Chains A and B, each alone.
Chain A
Amino acid sequence: MSDRDSPTDATADSGRPDGADESQPDAVDGEGSVSRPADERPPYVESTIIMTTVRVIAPFVLTLGLFVMFHGASSAGGGFQGGVIAATTVVMLGFAFGIEPIASRLRNEHLALLVLSGVGTFLVVGLGGYLVGDNFLQVSEYETLFHHGSKYSIELVEVGIGVVVSGVITSLFFLLGTGIDAADAADPDTDSEEDR
């Protein structure tokens, strides 16, 4: 908790970047520790090959994810799989161009809203079952509204699931990839106050 701010730790970090185990006072000998200071983590390395490859592949991966998500009713796939594949696009971009610049474009609140909208879509389709039929999530009754109504409502639910899954995975990726460092850099006061 307060290890990062303790003076001994700070000097050890700056003085001995290679002696990772010695800079951690609470580390068991030879076993390392679970708290690695940000400046010792493997840095982002800019690679032309990776950037070019990702730039070429990313649109196709996103298309595949959307296809799996939207076409789940007629072929293998569905919201869960498609959402994960779509989120892979963000993961690839993060690896190619660095996680922090990508994460700074998307705030956690926006991702939370995205996830919430996915759950909301599912609930709206489910509650709509009361309007067209008698029961919650009675998707077959949408058939009375318009042709293929049942299929399209199932597709809508799948898209909602995909939005939830991709939003959660993207935010997990950002949180684990940047974590407190990005928040520290943005507003160091709020977090130190939360510590107390």
Chain B
Amino acid sequence: MSLSVPVAVVLLFMLGSALAAAVIRDVVGSIVAFAGYSFGVAVLWALLRAPDVALTEAAVGAGITTVLFLLTLARTTVTRSDRFEGISLRSGLAVVAIVVTVGATVPALPAVGDPSAPILAGDVSQYYLTNAYDQTGVTNVVTAVLVGYRGFDTLGEVAVVFAAGIAMLLVLRREAFV
């Protein structure tokens, strides 16, 4: 797998900001590091030519989530003494175990851009790529799949967002715990 230099740089940046988000004790700093991580993910999606996902990640992950985190933080008081979070042996071992377990599956994945990868060579993807414009009249295949072919799924997603919003309206309006 040939890893281009920009992708490697972005991955390093993501690793650093993820570590910073986990280790920094200052909550605001941690949130900013988390936003940086989301930004790295967005750039990575853009480099891997998935602009739709990149847009979502940049807007939701790096943008709105950070704002909501900061707003929630403004309602709390936290005093801190240490600069960095102490890492116990147990949690460190758990992280190492998870990384090793997940990392062991990486060699099984096809290389990025491999033409024989199932996602490219599979019948379903090829069907969408071949027929999406003729059947839906939409040039963006992602949108064609989202609304044209999988419209019912998307309706479910919208229903989830709608229900979550209404629930938040009802719960936060009568927040007696503040």
Contacts and interface: CB of A to CB of B under 8 A. Distances in A.
Interface centre among B51, B59, B169 (most CB of A within 10 A): B59
A175 interface: yes
Contacts of B136: 139-140, 150-151, 154
A15 interface: no
A150 B67 contact: no
Given A81-B59, A139-B148, A108 B169 contact: yes
B130 interface: no
Contact of A137 (B60, B67, B155): B155
Contact of B162 (A80, A115, A154): A115
Given A35-B178, A126-B155, A72 B172 contact: no
B59 to A, nearest CB: 4
**Interface magnitude class on chain B:** 35 or more
Given A108-B173, A177-B71, A76 B52 contact: yes
B79 A30 contact: yes
B77 A169 contact: no
Interface string A19-45: 011001001001111111010111000
Given A20-B79, A108-B169, A179-B175, A118 B158 contact: yes
B151 A78 contact: no
Contacts of B126: none
A175 B168 contact: yes
A148 to B, nearest CB: 6
Given A76-B51, A112-B166, A119-B158, A180 B178 contact: yes
Interface in A156-175: 157-158, 160-161, 164-165, 167-169, 171-173, 175
Interface of B is mostly: helix
Interface in B114-135: 135
Interface string B29-52: 000000000000000000000011
A73 interface: yes
Given A80-B56, A173-B71, A179-B178, A161 B140 contact: no
B14 interface: no
Nearest to B57: A81
Contacts of A103: none
A151 B138 contact: yes
B148 A150 contact: yes
A73 B64 contact: no
A54 interface: no
Interface string B135-178: 11111101110111001101100110110111011001111111
Contact of B72 (A72, A74, A176): A176
Interface in A71-122: 72-78, 80-81, 84-85, 87-88, 91, 108, 111-112, 115-116, 118-119, 122
B174 A191 contact: yes
Interface of A: 1, 4, 20-21, 24, 27, 30-36, 38, 40-42, 68, 72-78, 80-81, 84-85, 87-88, 91, 108, 111-112, 115-116, 118-119, 122-123, 126, 136-137, 139-140, 143, 148, 150-151, 154, 157-158, 160-161, 164-165, 167-169, 171-173, 175-177, 179-180, 183, 191, 194-195
Given A32-B76, A32-B78, A34-B177, 5 more contacts: A20-B77, A27-B77, A42-B74, A137-B155, A180-B175
